Amino acid sequence: MLVYAESGMPVFDACVYATSEVRPKSGSPATIDQALRGVQFLLSFADAREIDLRERFASGQFLALHELDDLVRMAYKPMGSAGEQWRPANAVPMPALKEATFDQVLQRAPSSKGASQVAVGTASIRLYYVRTYLEWLGHSLAGRVCTTLEQKTNYLESMRECLGWLRARTPMARGESARQGLSNDQKAHLVEVIDPAHGANPWTGDFMRDRNRLLVLWGLGTGLRRGELLGLRIRLIDFRKNMAAIMRRPDDKHDPRKYQPNTKTRERAIGISEELAYLTHQHIVRFRSKIKGAQKHDFLFVAEDTGRPLSLAGLSKVFRSLREKHPGVSETISSHVLRHTWNEDFSDVADKAGLSEGDERRARVHAMGWSETSTSADHYLKRRTRRQAAAASIRIQQAVVPENPEQNAHAERKDRTK
């Protein structure tokens, strides 16, 4: 919820937008928070530029090109908390501050790296939620200010044109992902060092070693998001059928964590191997059952000292220990890298099984919990296409380029230098 810093009263339009537009589609508190921060940025910008958004949209004037350019430019700037008129309702109350312009607010923003602008992805997300909020505002006002169908049609067409200009100016959050999955050698090294009996295991204590191995194997074997891993519940794991249910429970009253991890998109059931099911059952019986406080809930992964469900910070610490003590596995290893690894492994399995692109996409979308309209699967399909194209190109070259007698000697020298 956004509230006015001075009065503590909710910002009406922003609250209606969050409850009627964002929550029904997502339900995730993190997504709602992100959307409201985008609205917060827009409202701060409009206030600093003396733009009455409601009046503009009610009159059908919308935003001019130079205002959109200014908005996009400001989206790259880091925002500080001092002087902002809007803030999240759960923010720490701040003392009265002197008036400041929006540009001054941005210039005061702290930055640990001294950066003058935020990441492209951050700017893109801000502008995405600015656009969805303005679209919602326009639709909500259209029925009030337009008296005929023709007026409403013209109004919506003008609004779409304005939002189209904004979309064209919005940077792509990312193109080709720079983050890659683990190689086969890295996977083998990872599985080796997380064995509780391994001398170089990065964690101490029987419980920690067993729990963290299980966490990594679940991530490596299923590709679940970090929120889904931390949301696994014992009663939703069927050990007879070797199936696990991944459920969405936004604002779960049974979850005591301050920042609740959650399933991001779709609920689904996934299969687990006999081996993973056995290790999971053994962890529950031999280790989790002995942790004080763990019997008060059925979340699979718990903190050793309190028995409470493992937090997002606790999960991050698991992978930080791996990065610090075994950089040879991967200097960037995280639950998301394991998700990338699963997808790359799935591509190999799909190739060997001869799955069509359509079948591969449907299976991947289900396993990853993506929506049917998501383009995330296309990233891996493009990678598969490139791999197939490269292999075909090599075969063509081998057919048309005559073999050179020195080729074998050159290949042998390459082998010796590896």
- Whether residue 91 has pLDDT greater than 50: no
- The predicted structure's pLDDT at residue 388: 74
- Please, what is the Cα angle at 334 between 387 and 212, to 5 degrees? 125
Q: Which two tokens stand for residue 66?
A: 């130079």
Q: Which two tokens stand for residue 376?
A: 């995330």
In terms of residues, how long is the chain? 418
- The predicted structure's pLDDT at residue 371: 77
- The predicted structure's pLDDT at residue 156: 94
Phi and psi at residue 247, in whole multiples of 5°? Answer: -115, 150
* CA distances from residue 184 to 152, 188, 191, 275 in whole angstroms, order as listed: 58, 6, 11, 20
- The predicted structure's pLDDT at residue 42: 94
CA distance 209 to 219: 16
- The predicted structure's pLDDT at residue 31: 83
Q: Which two tokens stand for residue 37?
A: 């921060």
The rounded mean pLDDT for the chain is: 84
Q: What is the largest CA-CA distance in the chain?
A: 84
In order of their start, the domains of the chain are 2-169 (no CATH), 184-339 (1.10.443.10)
Per-residue model confidence as pLDDT tens digits over 315-353: 999 999 999 999 989 989 999 999 999 999 998 898 889
- Whether residue 97 has pLDDT greater than 50: no
Q: Which two tokens stand for residue 81?
A: 């908390």
CA distance 31 to 325: 34
Considering just the CA atoms, what is the radius of gyration of the chain in Å?
26
- Whether residue 256 has pLDDT greater than 80: yes
> Percent of the chain at pLDDT above 70?
84
Strands (E) across 27-117 are located at 86-88
